[in-house]
Structure 1
Amino acid sequence: MIFHHQTMELISQGAEARIYKTSFNAMPAILKERFAKNYRHPELEKRLTKMRMTQEVRCNTRAAKAGVATPTVYNVDMVENKILMEYVHGVPLREVFDGECTNKYDICEQLGLMIAKLHNVNIVHGDLTTSNVLLKSSQDETLVLIDFGLAKSNASTEDKAVDMYVLERAFSSTHPGSQDLFDKVVASYTSALSDKTRAAVITRLKQVQQRGRKREMIG
């Protein structure tokens, strides 16, 4: 058990987990609790949950070592399927881009560089959206990548292209008319890749985009 009598405030719930705001050593913290899927066999569910939690923590930690700002993981409870981590004070890019921010292009440049750091160590986030990137300060443009629940290591070129496509879809659906912002992200991202990796990812991204357009046409 990580907690016994801590005050916890539910702040969000998704398909896989509940997110609580709590405290750790008198500091604000986040507790992520994965819950069981009743339709799965209990032993299979246990193995899958352990595997996903391990992957999440590992990718978060490796990303931080690669220079990506991520929440610090304080503790992991594999019995109760809980991860205790740093509470990051920041504003989601979703809100930043919808507001009157005057340095959106600079932020997009930083976002592209951040994703490149991640992909250069063969990690993909799996859910790259403007809700999962926090801006800590508008002055220094520090970005923090959160929620590695769908992340994976040993990522292929296809995985990286899909990661970028997910972000492109997030821009187009959440921030209509923002293609120029996404283009800035891509330009910054590709500038930080090796020539070989850049060519491979761009080629594969175009293929993923074409598949996406075909699916939209079919409905």
Structure 2
Amino acid sequence: MMLPTHALAGMLLALPVAILAPEHAAAVLAAGLFGGVLPDLDLYTGHRKTLHYPVYYSLLAGVTGVAAVLQPTGLTVAVAVLFAAAAVHCLGDAFGGGLELRPWEGTSERAVYNHHRGRWITPRRWVRYDGAPEDFLLTLALAAPLWLTVSEPYRPVVLLAVVIAAGYAATRRLLPRLASLLFSTVLPRYLPASLLAVAPDRYLADGE
């Protein structure tokens, strides 16, 4: 799933907590947003492995959730929401497409890495690939209740997520060609090989 979908999913996860504990609303919505985005900070360094922990984020969400119930402060509640949103992100990736340059071709059997078992989880492809039409529809479905409920400064965040998602979905199938051209033809003229070496393999070829 694309990043705006994950970001909105994290915020929506935080929404009931924000409604039930309005004194913590700003903190938990921010935590949900950050937790939804956090795993994808590994986009250029072992994507869906370095910061993706479907099992451990879930365990941390459970432990910190209990702590938040026993000692509900802005910090404890926000931390619990952050880990829950990160866990939902990782689990959501397992229901999406594989980790390849053109995920609509269905050639990869790697969805997200399970560090607990030391193996990759196979993609379910309920959402065929990040930026697919159904991914954008999911973004809209997540955005609607948030738009109707949250106030400043989060309403602009919801709108920005939808705009980014729309642009990404509209151009998604063009991006592999642009990435291949950029990394194989354009950037080698201007960047040293040492910098290009850190680029994900899928940007340099059509494989994983």
> What TM-score does the superposition give when structure 2 sets the normalisation length?
0.30
| Structure holding more strand per residue | 1
Bigger relative contact order, structure 1 or 2, given CA contacts below 8 A and separation 6+? 2
